[in-house]
Structure 1
Amino acid sequence: MNSESPKYNAPALDKGLDILEYLSEEGVPLSQAEIAQGINRTPSEIYRMLVCLEERGYVIRESNAGKYRLSLKMYSLSHRHTPFDELKRVAQYPMQALSEITRQSCHLSIMNDNKLLVIYQTRSPSAVSLSIEEGTHFPLSMTTSGRVILSMFPEEEAISILSKDEYYKNWDQERQNTLIETINEIGKLGYRSAKSKLTGGVTDIAVPIGLRGTDLKAVLAVSLFSSNLEDSINLDVILGELKKAQKIINELIGAV
């Protein structure tokens, strides 16, 4: 329980949350008296709240001993929307701004089943541009975004992930070591710009989104025709705008 006085009092809500949190901490069925004692309340104080929580399906009262335990409802609610759903939601505006300023499409990717998965893109306002369709999978080892997301993992874990990559596992030791060195360098620089190994004439520029050591890892990238980059678009400008969008998205998901 929070020892600081709340700015606004909601006694019934406080009691309900105290009950849920205490049952979660204890992890075993508890009687009304045991719950009351654990949250410094009297049994009569929490009776109506327990009845309400039971009726709403948040707690279950066992028929034999009459003790209460948490149901799976909280788990179900928390998994209706994954962290990546929230990431997509908050990334929409910064990505739209990025596309409008750079006149290029941009896309957001995560790792799924040891591959890179594009989960969202915003199209360029220009008449001609590259499009990376949502739902497309790419090999981690062969993509700029894949290498950037691998840079967010400890080296041993990145190698373990790559051991399942269809390309990497067939490479000789020297080529595998070169890729690991590249990934480590990305981790130090905080971005990657390189010509696509899958599509000729395309350059990818990517930055990481999220935090190391958490499950929320993603990559924001701009893919464009290499000729455009050489002729009319400055790499530093695109990278600068990518980092601005990266900062905004990270702030919105609390990854700062």
Structure 2
Amino acid sequence: MADTNTVKYNAPALDKGLDILEYLSKERVPLTQAEIAQGINRTPSEIYRMLVCLEQRGYIVRGHNAGKYRLSLKMYSLSHSHTPFDELKRVAHYPMQMLSENTRQSCHLSIMNNDQLLVISQMRSPSAVSLSIEVGTHFPLTKTTSGMTLLSMLNKKERTSILSRDVFYKTWEKEKKQTFLEEVEAIKERGYRTADSQLTSGITDIAIPIGKNSEVPAVLAVSVFTSTLHEELNMETIIENLKQTQEDINKLIGV
């Protein structure tokens, strides 16, 4: 049987260029040609032409004195060019603001990135005390309400593929895996999920899918102090507000 993981098409020059960029990004300090070569298991002569090319294209910069290379801001600029995520964040801003004002709670918008949950936008609560989720933070899909909600938006083949790489899921017993998959299917049927946070005690998460079958599937969530759900807040009210916000954002992105 053929190895399905075998690379069918090789691009040695591209591999060397990406190795250089990734290594400089990981090290975060200027490095000489020899240091870069050692770090990516190449000889200095092997990477010389690639360094020249990357410098000419503006991806790396070489210091005038020590001749050490560092990343320029070009990749940062490219990564922050207009993308579907930018549009999603833009159109979701006002609905999220209204959700925050109506529930008096912070809310956050997340997508999937490298098999993890990535928070891409947050709207802070107008209240003096509230929870805050840092934009740019990654969380495990299998350990978060938003992550499980995202998984519920995928077909079974996509879901199985992602879970096969999840560090937590791979260690679970068969029964725990089955219970997890059943809950993901239940979210799909119910249309949202509420659960105590597995990462932070005393927190309840409520999440709802955004943009199902769109180019940018996402999840909108509200995280609240569990105690306030019994004293000040009403779960049904939060869910109704989330559903209204879901409808508003979906209309704006054409779903």
Per-residue CA deviation, residues 6-49 of structure 1 (Å, 9 max, x unaligned), is xxxxxxxxxxxxxxxxxxxxxxxxxxxxxxxxxxxxxxxxxxxx
2:21 maps to none
Per-residue CA deviation, residues 139-182 of structure 1 (Å, 9 max, x unaligned), is 00010000001000012221211111121111111111111100
Q: What TM-score do the two structures reach when normalised by structure 2?
A: 0.68
Cα distance in 2 between the residues matched to 1:172 and 1:247 = 38
2:180 maps to 179
1:73 maps to none
Cα distance in 1 between the residues matched to 2:204 and 2:130 = 12
2:220 maps to 220
2:168 maps to 167
Cα distance in 2 between the residues matched to 1:250 and 1:215 = 12
2:147 maps to 146
2:133 maps to 132
Q: What SS is found at the alignment partner of 2:166?
A: coil
1:247 maps to 247
Q: How large is the Cα RMSD of the aligned pairs?
A: 1.4
Per-residue CA deviation, residues 102-158 of structure 1 (Å, 9 max, x unaligned), is 000000000000000000000001111100010000000010000001000012221
Amino acid at match of 1:240: E
Between 162-171 and 231-240, the greater mean CA deviation after superposition: 162-171
Pairwise mapping of residues 65-84 of structure 1 onto structure 2 (< 5 A)? 80-84=81-85
Between 179-188 and 159-168, the greater mean CA deviation after superposition: 159-168
Amino acid at match of 1:242: L
Cα distance in 2 between the residues matched to 1:127 and 1:231 = 17
Cα distance in 2 between the residues matched to 1:93 and 1:120 = 12
Pairwise mapping of residues 1-256 of structure 1 onto structure 2 (< 5 A)? 80-212=81-213, 214-255=214-255
Q: What TM-score do the two structures reach when normalised by structure 1?
A: 0.67
Q: Which runs of 4+ in 1 moved over 2 A?
A: none
Where does structure 1 lack aligned partners over 5 or more consecutive residues?
1-76
Identity of aligned residues (%): 60
Cα distance in 1 between the residues matched to 2:198 and 2:117 = 14
1:21 maps to none
Q: What SS is found at the alignment partner of 2:99?
A: helix
Instruction: Give the CA deviation at 1:184.
Output: 0.4
Instruction: Give the CA deviation at 1:240.
Output: 0.3
Cα distance in 2 between the residues matched to 1:180 and 1:228 = 30
Where does structure 2 lack aligned partners over 5 or more consecutive residues?
1-77
Amino acid at match of 1:103: R
Instruction: Give the CA deviation at 1:80.
Output: 3.8
Amino acid at match of 1:182: E
1:18 maps to none
Which structure has the larger Rg? 1
Cα distance in 2 between the residues matched to 1:215 and 1:87 = 10
| Count of residue pairs the alignment pairs up | 177
Per-residue CA deviation, residues 67-88 of structure 1 (Å, 9 max, x unaligned), is xxxxxxxxxx9x9421111000
